[in-house]
Amino acid sequence: MAGITNSSMIENPTVIYDKFTELTDDRIIAALIGMTKEKFSALAKNFESASLEIDRERVLNGEIKQVKQGGPKGYLNSPDKKLFFILFYLKTYPTFDVLGFHFGLSGGHAHAHVDKLLPVLGRALSNLNLMPLRQPTDSAEFRQALEKYKHIAIDGVECPCVRPQDDAAQKEHYSGKKKTHGESHRYFRP
């Protein structure tokens, strides 16, 4: 019985992207990447410029000698495919082996692409002023965010913590009722 090898990966790795470009069902598109095609197209333009910005910075910082220009083209050979790849990963969150299988890559290469493309997506979203405000430092910063945006989503997460042994600290965090103990963390997304 033969196992799965790299040669048994998808013959044409751009099939998933090609199918995506042909899709017209907004529900399926949102299930794959978490946004509409119109938003994807708008983000793709900024994604490419963010990628170029990061490459220029890497050259200036001495991390690389020059931006790669020649050589063989990889499977993710366009900014649209790279953006689709990272959005597909973030929306569906497959293992790296499964992600690699869908795009004709090994699991290791899929992981390397995710590591490279996440900062590019973050830069593109920051350039469009779409990154969430994680934790306002004071009430003035929060009020400023309220004035700046029409809609704000507040997401609260309670993280488990060890019950304090000090009486004063315990009274501050513990009501006496049977429940799990946790710290509330709130994230503000304009």
Pick from 79, 89, 137, 84: nearest CA to 114: 89
Least confident of 2-11, 27-36, 127-136: 2-11
| Segment (H or E) for 37 | helix 37-60
Please, are residues 56 and 67 in contact by the beta-carbon 8 Å criterion?
Answer: yes
110-158 pLDDT per residue, tens: 999 999 999 999 999 988 888 776 677 788 877 777 787 767 666 666 6
Question: Alpha-carbon distance 43 to 5, whole Å?
Answer: 35
Residue of 62 and 120 predicted with greater confidence? 120
Q: Is the pLDDT of residue 190 over 80?
A: no
pTM of the model: 0.67
Cα torsion 113, 133, 156, 35 to 10°: value is -50
First-to-last alpha carbon distance for the chain, in angstroms, is 54
* φ, ψ (nearest 5 deg) of residue 103: -110, 10
